[in-house]
Structure 1
Amino acid sequence: MATDLHSPLPKSATDLFGDPIEDTHPLWLNPSKFSDPEFDPESYISDLRTFVPFDTLRSELRSHLGALKHELVELINRDYVDFVSLSTKLVDVDAAVVRMRAPLLEVKEKILAFRGSVEGSLTALQSRLKQRAQANEAREVLELLLDTFHVVSKVEKLIKELPTVPADWSSGTLNSTEKGQLSNGISFQHAENGANLRETQSMLLERIASEMNRLKFYIAQAQNMPFIDNMKKRIQNASLLLDTSLGHCFVDGLENRDANAIYNCLRAYAAIDNTSSAEEIFRSTVVAPFTQKVIPHSSSGVVGGSSGDELEQDYERIKRYIEDDCKFLLEISSTENSGLHVFSFQANSILKEILSAIQKGKPGAFSPGRPTEFLKNYKSSLDFLAYLEGYCPSRSAVAKFRQEAVYIEFMKQWNTGVYFSLRFQEIAGALDSALMTTTLIPSQSSSSDQEHSHTLVLKQSISLMESLRLCWRDDVFIISCSDKFLRLFLQLLSRYSNWLSAGLNARKSGNANANYGSEWAFAATPDDLLYIIHDLKCLVEEVCGSYLGNVLEVLKPCSTEVLDLVKESILQGGNSLKVLQPLVMNSIIENLVEKSVEDLRQMKGITATYRMTNKPLPVRHSPYVSSVLRPLKAFLDGERAATYLTSELRKELVQSAANEITRRYYELAADLVSVARKTESSLQKIRLGAQRRAGATSDVSDQNVSDTDKMCMQLFLDIQEYGRNLASLGVDAADIPAYRSLWQCVAPSDRQNSISF
């Protein structure tokens, strides 16, 4: 394609002697791109300049321009006749333009005239539409004002139909006019037939309330209008009369237990959105009298007759009064699809009055300073709240009851944070006092160890267990503080663990003043430490067993996720005690090893026995060997070890103690042999030097056995006896690396490879 576009120009007629013009464009210049509709000269040149010098590019473009001009000239020369004939055909063009302009101007004038007419009509139409909208708006306002006036007049007329004194209705006597036809269409035919006049009044009040609700809507729509402002006094008077009449009718219905009248009055209160008045009337008329009987009080404070600050019996009496005097109203207000769910008599009538009575008559009931009484009152109050929630017809009603301001205020009276602080001091203080003793104190039952092998022995451990149980006991625990009691549980375990580990660390370091409260560790014998091992085992089993089950039962109302977290925390706390057992075991082992090492130090007497004494080779072990394992054996044969050491712990203790004693045995023996050999080598060098100076021959070869060999033989006999003593404790000496090293150190050359005794 490119070859066709850039083929050499045809040879012109005038080019008689020149060579044909050939396309000599380089490969990087493609003229076909110039005719592309999306061709961009600047980007094209910038792309080429990256690898083509500017002068070369300019030269090639000029060359291409010259070729294009030459081609244009060739085309004109080739079609010259057509160019000339075109100019001859363009004759009288101006006259043709004038002829076409006249009709176009005429059409333009007609269009402009029509456009002006349309714009005028549109303006007139928009003006009339605006006037119509204003008229509609004015009519709506007028209709609203007329409706408002009619409703006000209707309400006033209906209120006038009501008797001014409630007794007029309850007496059953009506004048002749009232026995006629009321303006609201309600006939007294039913009254003449013995119908309930109170119910008729309540129905009329309900209708008036409905009209008042409608009136409130109209007033809200026509705010800030002079007409409405002028009617405000009439509206307020009507509203006041309605509230007064409705209150009288509601009180009358409550006194006579008239369910229909009460129902209609409640609907009237709901219609005018004045539920608080109904709740207050019920509180003062029904709830306050029996509350005053149960908890006598006055505005100034306590009135004589109250017995202490306990609330449990008071709540029981109040419940009976609620059953007798309040249940009928609560059932009416919870009628399904009645629209009476807006009332909250449980909170704003009953609970409000009871809270006020307790605050005035028994203010000490809320005081956490006496934790036991506080907890009883708190739990009784929670039970009473649950009793009131039983009158709620649905879960949403229960949620609404708990969100009431009175409910929240009632719960704020119970300062559970201060209560927990007092319990914390009581529980943690008891354990802290028990751990401040300078000795381990066995309980009285420890005298019969065998009978109590599955119970705690030390008073410190018993105090810990009692404190842990107190955290979840019914007369201490509060479900709302469950997280705090769980933290207290973990803190008690941590306090006990720190007490043990601090004492054992101080015992190991030998610094009695290192930690205050660690004095017990220095006074404790290995037999005393057995009590700790036993108690740790019992504590772990108790905490991870029945104690955990009891806690999960107490927290049963909580969710599964919460119970899982509590279970994990308690198990971790119990296992934190288990890691203390190796520390106690190590302390026992260290004590027994030190006692054994005291006897091992008698080994130094072997040097004095055989150095420069010419004694024969020994044939029996040294006396100290029998005493090396005596402390360990005496400990294992003791009554406490038999009672409190399990077979697994016993085996672990024997093996660990044997390994450590043997290691110390090896260190002392190896040191003794090393010193002996160095001493013998030095003496022999001195003896050889003396003999050389005297010119005498050496008689070293005549000495059959050296002092060092005698010492090694004595040690060899000792470790054989020591191995037999280990075997009597159930320990194979050959399995102890330190014993094998000891054997290699002192055994004769012919006994090096086999350990036997």
Structure 2
Amino acid sequence: MSSARDLFSLPAGPADLCFDKNEFMKKTFSVDEFLHENRNAGSLENIRDDLGLYLKVLRSAMIELINQDYADFVDLSANLIGLDQQIGEIDAPLQKLKQEMLTVKGALEGTMKDISDCLEQKKALRAYKKSLQSLAKVQAALVKLKSLLKPVDEKQDEINPTLLERAALESIQLQFNLKYCSEFLDEEQKQSADHWKGSLLTQLKTYFLNMLEKKDLDGLERCLRIYCTLDECHIAEEVFKTEIVTPYMSRVVSESSLQNSPQGLTGIYNQILDFISLNMKSLLSLTKKNGKVKGYKFVINSFWTEVERRMETNMSSIFAPGNPDSFYSKYKCTLEFLERIELILEDPVEINCFKTHSQYKSFQVRWNLPVYFQIRFQEIGSNLEKACTREIDAVKFSTQQISVSQFNLLQFSIVLTCISNCWQDGIYLPQLFHRFLKLTLQLLSRTMTWIDNVVALNPIAPQDSGQEQSLRLKLLATLFSDITNLSKKIPQIVSLILDKSPTNLELASPQLDELFFDNRSALTTKLNRLQTLIVQELVQNSAPYIKQVSDIPRLYRKTNRDVPRRCCQYMEQLIQPSRSFRENYSSLVGDERLKDFLANVYGSLTTSYYNAVEEVLMSVQKTEESLRRLKSLRDRNFTTAAASSNSTTAMTDDDKIRLQLQVDVIYYVQEIERIGLARGEIEKLNELERLVEEATKIRIGSGSQSIAQS
């Protein structure tokens, strides 16, 4: 914006203009915006007049500018006179120069094309010459091969390895030159080249087999080197496979051999591995990692390929997973067999080639591990499923002795047995680690579902309601104990799985703990749920006796009963369910949990008990006040008043009611403290004590405690 203003500065206008002249230089100038900004400067008529004045100023400035530069305009027009004629004079020479350059360019292109054609002809001649030279070398090589191999054809028993080496070199030269003169060869020459190469390989095969039979390491080494020279190592491997491995394996690997072997499949594998020590010792000593000859893989390409093919075709019965125990033993035996082959290979590179070989993968696939696992899944899972669908016998359960250290319900023992079976020898395979881990989690999950069903459906339902409540409470306590024991077993299960995990998996304990986190949380939730249910059962068994608090006034009104010194019978009945639970099941739930149970039970009971006592005291107070008002209305004389004052010194029926409530509360508090609970742990307990104290105007001391104890 600043540069534009410098180039095109506007002339100054009158000082009393109602707008800023620089606004016209803005790139974003807008008429609407201009009028909007200057609407307060004056009326539209004033803006119009000021714009007219400034327009006159601009016109004057434009005329002055033209007058200043008029001389330059005139000079420019004078200098342009005759410019067209000058341009025309220059055009003709330039056109001529252009034509000459095009002519030179054409000549150069023609010359370059002639040179390129000559170079191509020279290149073709050179290739033709090279082909003729190669053809001559091919002919010479054929003649030399004929002279080297012909004596051997006549005397097969005398194979000279030196001649074979020379023939191999000539054969390499022959194959090399054949590539450059194939278009000049006739059919007879091609057949001759193939014939002599085949003759060389035939004699080399004979020599190779002779050296293997004689176990001549030096001769065998020379033979293998000749094969390497010819780049035909695979032919040596195929010869060994066809002539040596196949006859042996056809006798050893068969269904009849498997049936007649005293050691079964293990015996067959031992015979197969014996072949290596009997027939491949010399080859392996030469071709191993530190051997003298490189490039051979006799164990993989000759031995293993034939063994695997024979096992798939002649011993297919070993792959049948119908009998899981038999399948397991055969598969474990096979894994040991493969590991022994890997020990023979030694070199990690060769071991990797062995494991990535197509026939190795095919052999592994033939072992139908998913079907084997499915059979084991049905065996293990069905045991737990049968136990979970079995109803709990009320008679047996009622007479069953409860154990703290062991599972009391059959289902928990079975799930632990099933989990142990998943990882025991004879069932677990490292190749199925993830499946057995999932099965373990499924077994725990099925147990959780069974627990929920047992708690919800209450499978024990005898006719007697009292016995039903007792058995229900026993079932809940037993479930609580067994779930606690099962949760303690989970770290052992995690440790077992870690021990059984494959070494290549590198599984850490925190990872397994995370997998079992949901099960641990579910077990904790189940324990809390059972605690709530047990508390509810105990409260339901005790709560009805709290209603008997309202019967206390009827015991003392107009009955002339003695001053209360013992708690009422309902108090024993109120406390008895919790006392029985503590005596019978404290070892099952544990001391800490038992205190939590009883704290919740007495917390709920105390609240109800407080309300009942408060209601009775309020009723007694209202009755007492009503009687007092009634007496005051009937008799207002001094004698009656004196008699009344004298009578208040004796303990009334209402006082006996209040004292009985206090004796009951004292006994109730003593029972809570006898359990080991503090008064502050029980909601409303302190309020209950204060309530009866204020009602009786007697502090709970040694005297009242002795009354309660008596």
TM-score, normalised relative to structure 2: 0.76
Q: Which of 649, 664, 668 is the equivalent residue of 2:593? A: 649
1 CA distance for matches of 2:12 and 2:339? 105
How far does residue 406 in structure 1 lie from its aligned partner after superposition? 0.7
- How far is 1:413 from its partner? 0.8
What are the superposed Cα offsets for residues 245-267 of structure 1, whole Å, 9 maximum, x if unpaired? 44444434433334455445555
91, 107, 111: which one pairs with 1:125? 111
1:715 aligns with 2:701: no
- Aligned amino acid, residue 388 of structure 2: L
Q: C-alpha displacement at 1:146, in angstroms?
A: 3.3
Alignment correspondent of 2:41: none
- Using the alignment, how far apart are the partners of 2:274 and 2:439 within structure 1? 40
CA distance change for structure 1 residues 58 and 490 in 2, over 3 Å: closer, same or farther?
farther
Matched, 1:347 2:300: yes
- Of residues 656-665 and 494-503 in structure 1, the stretch that sits farther from structure 2 once superposed is 656-665
Asked whether the 8 Å contact 1:626–1:722 carries over to 2, the reply is no
- Alignment partner, residue 268 of structure 2: 314
Q: CA deviation at 1:51?
A: 4.2
* Residue pair 2:149, 2:200 contacting (<8 A) in 1 also: no
Contact 1:440/1:458, CA 8 A, preserved across alignment? no
CA distance in 2, matches of 1:504, 1:90: 114
What are the superposed Cα offsets for residues 221-268 of structure 1, whole Å, 9 maximum, x if unpaired? x7xx58689976555555554554444444344333344554455555
Aligned partner of 1:291 in structure 2 is 249
1:561-615 CA distances to partner (integer Å, 9 max, x unpaired)?
5564235434664565344333344444443333333544544543543567576
Counterpart in 1 of 2:568?
622
Gaps of 5+ in 2: 36-46, 706-710
Structure 2 residue identity aligned to 1:326 = M
Q: Are 1:69 and 2:66 matched, yes or no?
A: yes
Q: Tell whether the 8 Å contact from 2:289 to 2:347 is kept in structure 1 after alignment.
A: no
User: Matches of 1:394 and 1:262 in 2, distance apart?
Assistant: 22
2:254 and 2:315 in contact (8 A); partners too: no
- Name the structure 1 match of 2:386: 433
- Unaligned runs of 5+ residues in structure 1 are 9-21, 31-41, 173-196, 514-519
Give the helix-richer structure, 1 or 2: 2
Residue 409 of structure 2 is aligned to residue 467 of structure 1: no
CA distance 1:462–1:262, change in 2 (3 Å)? same
Q: Give 2:442's aligned residue.
A: 491
Q: Distance in 1 between matches of 2:7 and 2:495?
A: 98
Give how far 1:499 is off.
1.8
**CA distances 1:486-526 after superposition (whole Å, capped 9, x unpaired):** 1111111222222223322334xx9979xxxxxx9988454
Contact 1:163/1:169 (CA < 8 Å) preserved in 2?
no
Deviations 1:624-673 (A, max 9, x none): 212332333334334x644x454333433443333344344345545666
| Alpha-carbon spacing, 1:142–1:673, altered in 2? closer, same or farther (3 Å) | farther
Call closer, same or farther: CA 1:121–1:557 in 2, change over 3 Å: same
State the SS of the aligned residue for 2:569: coil
Say what the alpha-carbon RMSD is for the aligned residues. 5.2
Higher mean displacement: 404-413 or 571-580: 571-580
Q: Secondary structure at the match of 1:737?
A: coil
Counterpart residue number, 2:371 = 418
Structure-2 change in CA distance of 1:573 and 1:163 (3 Å): farther
Distance 1:439 1:684 in 2: 60
For the pair 1:214 / 2:167, whether they are aligned, the reply is no
Tell me which amino acid in the other structure corresponds to 2:121. Answer: A
Shift of 1:468: 1.5
Aligned to 1:371: 324
Task: Report the AA paired with residue 254 of structure 2.
Answer: P
- Distance in 1, Cα, partners of 2:394 & 2:226: 76
Note if contact 1:468-1:489 (Cα within 8 Å) is conserved in structure 2: yes
Distance 1:559 1:5 in 2: 79
**Alpha-carbon deviation of 1:126?**
1.0
Does structure 1 conserve the Cα–Cα contact (< 8 Å) formed by 2:138 and 2:178? no
Q: Which residue of the partner structure matches residue 481 of structure 1?
A: 432
Secondary structure of 1:558's counterpart equals helix
Partner of 1:409: 362
Distance 1:392 1:295, change over 3 A: closer
The answer on 1:728 being equivalent to 2:674 is yes
Q: CA–CA distance in 1 between the matches of 2:170 and 2:617?
A: 120
Aligned residues: 667
- TM-score, normalization by structure 1: 0.72
Alpha-carbon distance change, 348 to 724 in structure 1, aligned in 2, over 3 angstroms: same
Aligned CA distance change for structure 1 residues 216 and 344 (closer, same or farther; 3 Å): farther
Give the whole-Å Cα distance in 1 for the aligned partners of 2:686 and 2:206: 108
Q: 1:237 to 1:506 in 2, by over 3 A?
A: same
Q: What's the offset of the Cα at 1:211? A: 3.7
Report % sequence identity.
Answer: 20
By how many angstroms is 1:475 displaced?
Answer: 1.8
Give CA-to-partner distance per residue, 1:384-429, whole Å, 9 cap, x none.
Answer: 2222223445433322222211111111111111111111111222
Q: Residues 541 and 65 of structure 1: is their aligned pair in 2 closer, same or farther, counting only changes over 3 Å?
A: same
**Distance of aligned partners of 1:2 and 1:352 in 2 relative to their CA distance in 1, 3 Å threshold:** closer
Please say if residues 367 and 374 of structure 1, whose CA atoms lie closer than 8 Å, have aligned partners that are also in contact: yes
2:369 and 2:636 map into 1 onto residues whose CA distance is 98
Q: Distance in 2 between matches of 1:163 and 1:67?
A: 116
Match of 1:199 in 2: 161
The answer to whether the aligner puts 1:381 opposite 2:367 as a matched pair is no
Change (3 A) 1:500 1:90: closer
Aligned pairs for 1:388-399 within 5 A: 388-392=341-345, 394-399=347-352
Name the SS of the counterpart of 2:503 in structure 1: coil
Given that 2:252 and 2:271 are in contact with CA atoms closer than 8 Å, whether structure 1 keeps it comes out as yes
Partner of 1:178: none
Equivalence for 1:35: none
SS of the equivalent of 2:494 reads helix
| CA distance in 2: counterparts of 1:419 and 1:526, whole angstroms | 43
Tell me, in whole angstroms, the C-alpha distance in 2 between the residues paired with 1:164 and 1:149.
22
Aligned counterpart, 1:134? 120
The 1:165–1:106 alpha-carbon spacing in structure 2 relative to 1, beyond 3 Å, is: closer
Looking at structure 2, the residues matched to 681 and 718 of structure 1 have their Cα atoms a distance apart, in angstroms, of 21
Q: Deviations over 1:332-368 (max 9, x none)?
A: 3335697844x44333322222223323343221112
Give the secondary-structure state (helix, strand or coil) at the position aligned to 2:362. helix
